[in-house]
Structure 1
Amino acid sequence: MNFKGTLLHIHIAQAASYEMEELAEAECVAGRGIVGDRYFLGNGTYSGRPDVREVTLIEQEALDALARNDPPLQEGPIVLAPVDHRRNLTVRGVPLNHLVGRRFRVGEVILRGGRLNFPCKYLEQLLDLPVYLPLYNRSGLNCGIERGGVIRPGDEIELLD
């Protein structure tokens, strides 16, 4: 499997339920997360869970499909802005479902794919949109940070192993 993807957006929230804030660059710390994010600070909704959630990613292609109502799982198109989906990184050209257990590079940072992220009813309530079913199996990937550094929108993403 080979791909060349791109980092489009970086978002963090200081605590669960807080509005997401877009960053022009982010410092990623190995074993911790993105500086300033709720999971870095240990106060994210799932911080107590054993799965690694240092950085979360979602594909722009999944958001584009939602906007096309493809597949037609709801009454009509749903447009989610990158600030709405509650994931840290919005990426394009990266097959996230195939990166479970794999190492990949985002700019100078090395991530390892953890478990797939599943949509939650909380997101539906927060957005007041029926996103649970259309995001099922394409809600992103939870990752651990193996090598930290600074990332910026426009950074290249590529598979390492």
Structure 2
Amino acid sequence: MIEVDLPEDEAVPELTRSFAACVASVTETPITEVPQPRADLPGAISHWRGWLAGRGAGLVTLAQPSSFNWPGYWLAVLGAPGPNATADDATAVLMFGTPAGVVLSPQNPTLLGRAAAELPVREGYVLSGLDPAFIAPTSPPLQLRGTVVEIALAEQATGAMRTVDHARALANRGLESDRYAAKAGTFTPASETSRGYDLTLIEAEVIDSLMLPEGRCIGYAEARRNIVTRGIDLNALVGRRFQVGTVECLGQRLCEPCSHLERLTTKGTLRELIHRGGLRVDVLSDGELKIGDVVQTID
């Protein structure tokens, strides 16, 4: 996403301008290139659907927006539902994360970071590509290498993270004494076949670079990931086998931020960590991890 302010053309309804800004942000398109029809939101959405189709994308209406949940971006219209609802009572925002939170609010910036569950979501839309075919990389993968700079555990789902010098990794479970190894994490799945919940990693460089409101910062452990690394691109480990010390792991997917993390840390964390929140990992072998261990690809 990119930062987009509310356009100033008052001939266009404010709700339409705000929604256009959200579309521009999520598609990373200059706002001057996104149509801003002088129409109410339903008319504008019809216009944008044609514009997006020419770019290989679509705007899908959510049947139950108030309970919608997925780990990507989506657009929401906030406001009291009902036959007497008007555009003057509505606000368009961009949501992200599971659970979702507001990451862009051109009409009302005070909504940034608010959880979707706390807000009156009246309408919802997902912007999606028309062809979901996955294109695999054709170039050979790079060999990557970094180091462990911190290890953190929490025994309970929302409990404080405590740092340790070493920890024991358990295959298909996680780190001993951590809530996910005990199947007690906030996002621990009900199904034993779900993958990517054993271990989480995040880059120290990302935490060091966070630009939070009023100069706030968070410590490495406050990011609520188990292992903090330095010198390795964790996003590049999705789908790859690698070792942390002698422990073999498989990168499953990005560990995207959510409104739950923002609630446990500080305002702005959700937005700052989009696509930089680290990596969700399966642990494939038992072993000991310690600070200073090498993190390196093995495939």
TM over 0.5: yes
Report which of the two has the higher share of helix. 2
Which protein has greater RCO, CA pairs closer than 8 Å, 6+ apart?
1
Contact 1:22 1:83 in 2 (8 A): yes
Moved over 4 A (4+): none
Query: In the alignment, is the contact (CA less than 8 A) between 2:213 and 2:267 conserved in 1?
Result: no
User: Cα offset for 1:129?
Assistant: 2.4
Secondary structure of 1:19's counterpart equals coil
Contact 1:51/1:115 (8 A) holds in 2: no
Please give the alpha-carbon distance, in whole angstroms, between the structure 1 residues aligned to 2:156 and 2:243.
27
Q: TM-score, normalised by structure 2?
A: 0.50
SS in 2 for 1:40: coil
Number of aligned residue pairs: give it. Answer: 155
Which residue, 126, 140, 154 being the options, matches 1:13? 154
What aligned pairs does 1:23-38 form with structure 2 within 5 A after superposition? 23-38=164-179
State the percentage of identical aligned residues: 35
Partners of 1:75 and 1:106 lie apart in 2 by 34
Give the structure with higher Rg (CA).
Answer: 2
- Structure 1: gaps spanning 5 or more residues: none
| In structure 1, distance between residues paired with 2:153 and 2:273 | 20
Unaligned runs of 5+ in 2: 1-141
Equivalent residue number for residue 290 of structure 2: 152
Shift of 1:128: 3.0
In the TM superposition, 1:75-154 aligns within 5 A as 75-154=213-292
Residue identity matched to 1:31: N
TM-score where L is the length of structure 1: 0.91
- In terms of mean alpha carbon deviation, does 44-53 or 23-32 score higher? 44-53
* Cα distance between partner residues in 1 of 2:178 and 2:239: 23
Distance 1:77 1:91 in 2: 23
Aligned-partner SS, 2:221? coil
**Counterpart AA for 1:3:** L
The answer for the alignment partner of 2:90 in structure 1 is none
- Report the counterpart of residue 58 of structure 1 in structure 2: 202
Q: Which has the higher strand share?
A: 1
Separation in 2 of the partners of 1:92 and 1:78? Answer: 22
Displacement of 1:41: 0.3
